[in-house]
Amino acid sequence: MDIVLQQVLNAISLGGIYALLALGLAVVFSIVGLINFAHGELMTVAGYALFLGVLFAVPLPLALALAVAAAAGAAVLTERLAFRPMRRADATALLLTSFAVSAILRVLFQNGISARPKPVPLPPALSGTVDLGPVHLGAVPLASILVTLVSLILLTLFLKRTTMGRAMRAAAEDFQVLRLMGIRANRVVAVAFALSGALAGVSALLWVAQRGSVDPLMGFIPVLKAFVAAVIGGLGSLPGAVAGGFVLGITEVLFQAFLPEAALPFRDAFVLSVVIAILIWRPDGLIPAKSARRS
């Protein structure tokens, strides 16, 4: 009972992290058509900001907020420096730009900070378990699910209730019309990147909480998974990104739990084969995006 519940919890919390990352990718893709390879480096920025915060004994809540803000700031900065000059380019050129940005940032981290992992000591409350009657559940996965939920709710409120949020949803459907309405395109794009960076920052915190350390490559693997999640969900579709994230996280945990010992090293291969099967079944993803502006 314990184990099953624990696995369910793990699946949901991992799926949540993927969902947040995939959402960050989808927010940007829906508006500027960029599949942002450098998203993982935004996670790394948040990780290092948290590391520095803890190092200088900044109160934890403040350090967490700073870390998320750092990722959002870095996202806006990359947009300003690298992606804005490319606004009119096609999807392939944008993808390659972010590919290059990602490689450059990684080298900068390796040289500027350290190629080795840096430990991030977290409060002991997070490393324990929570006892709910007879079941003991890990505190980190529980906190992680909570944070994911709150982030999703806040994001939904932002997109549905605020003017900027509505402008962003409109931009996702038709960017040209948005401009005709007299809304400043650059601001919408900047906010989209900031939002995407903040989502990367939040997922970085959850990731670091599970790992206890940061290194220059920490964002690489999770964001790779997030790509896959965003594509299964339907590129540029926000509900799709969330669905894709959870599908991927749950599939991974299921394979981890139920594959025979000998097949475990091939887990990712199995998972990705499932992904390809989903894509063959639905080439545009589970919940395709509404606009077809790149057709």
Partner 1 sequence: MRLWLNIPVTTWTGAALMSAGVAVLAIGLKLALGLNGENLATLVLLQIVAVLSLAIFSGNSGIISFGHSAFMGIGAYAAGLLTMAAAAQKSALPALPGWLAGHETGLLAALAVTAVVGVVVGVISGLPLARLSTGSAAIGTLAFLIIIHVCLVGARDITRGSQTFYGVPRLTTLWVALAAAILMIFAARLFRDSRLGLALRASRENEVAAAAIGIDVRRARFLAWVASITCATLAGALYGHFLGAFSPKDFYFDLIFTYIAMLIVGGLYSVSGAVAGVIMLAFVIQLLREAEAGLDLGFITLPQVFGLPQLGLGLALLLTIWARPLGLVGLAELRPSTFTRSSDEAPPQPVTRPTMARRAGEVLSVQDVTVRFGGLTALDRISFDVPLGQVTGLIGPNGAGKTTLINVICGQQRPTSGTVTLSGHTLSALPAHRVASVGLARTFQNIRLFDRLTALENVVAAAERAGHRRGVAEGIAMAELDRMGLAPRWNEAAGAFAYGDRRRLEIARALALSPAFLLLDEPAAGMNPAETERLVEALEKLKAERDLGILVVEHDMRLIMRLSDRMVVLNKGQKIAEGTPDQVRTDPAVIEAYIGTRRHKHDQHGS
Shortest CB 53 distance to partner 1, Å: 26
| CA-derived radius of gyration, the chain | 19
Among 179, 145, 191, 180, which Cα is nearest to 27's? Answer: 191
Phi, psi of 214 (to 5 degrees): -125, 145
Shortest CB 27 distance to partner 1, Å: 16
Token code pair at residue 156? 């939904």
Which of 63, 285, 286, 287 contacts partner 1 by CB under 8 A?
A: 285
Note whether 77 binds partner 1 by CB under 8 A.
no
Token code pair at residue 293? 């502006």
Shortest CB 290 distance to partner 1, Å: 15
Shortest CB 98 distance to partner 1, Å: 10
Q: What residues have CB less than 8 Å from 217, skipping those under 6 apart?
A: 44, 106
Which of 60, 95, 113, 259 contacts partner 1 by CB under 8 A?
A: 95
The Cα–Cα gap between 221 and 2 comes to 29
Q: Is the Cβ–Cβ distance between 60 and 143 less than 8 Å?
A: no
The Cα–Cα gap between 199 and 43 comes to 9
Nearer to partner 1, 62 or 269 (CB): 269
Shortest CB 214 distance to partner 1, Å: 17
The site map against partner 1 for 11-40 (x = CB under 8 A) is ------------------------x-----
The site map against partner 1 for 159-178 (x = CB under 8 A) is --------------------
- Identify residues 230-269 at the interface with partner 1 (CB under 8 A): 231, 235, 265-269
The Cα–Cα gap between 252 and 19 comes to 14
Q: Is the Cβ–Cβ distance between 186 and 76 less than 8 Å?
A: no
Nearer to partner 1, 101 or 147 (CB): 101
Note whether 86 binds partner 1 by CB under 8 A.
yes
β-strand partners of 213: 119
Note whether 273 binds partner 1 by CB under 8 A.
yes
Which of 82, 135, 164, 170 contacts partner 1 by CB under 8 A?
A: 82
Among 113, 141, 95, 126, which Cα is nearest to 44's? Answer: 113
Q: Which residue has the tokens 């369910």?
A: 8
Count residues binding partner 1 (CB under 8 A).
Answer: 44
Among 217, 189, 230, which Cα is nearest to 107's? Answer: 217
> Contact positions toward partner 1, by CB under 8 A?
35, 82, 85-86, 89, 91-93, 95-97, 99-104, 106-108, 110-111, 115, 224, 227-228, 231, 235, 265-269, 272-273, 275-276, 279-280, 283-285, 294-295
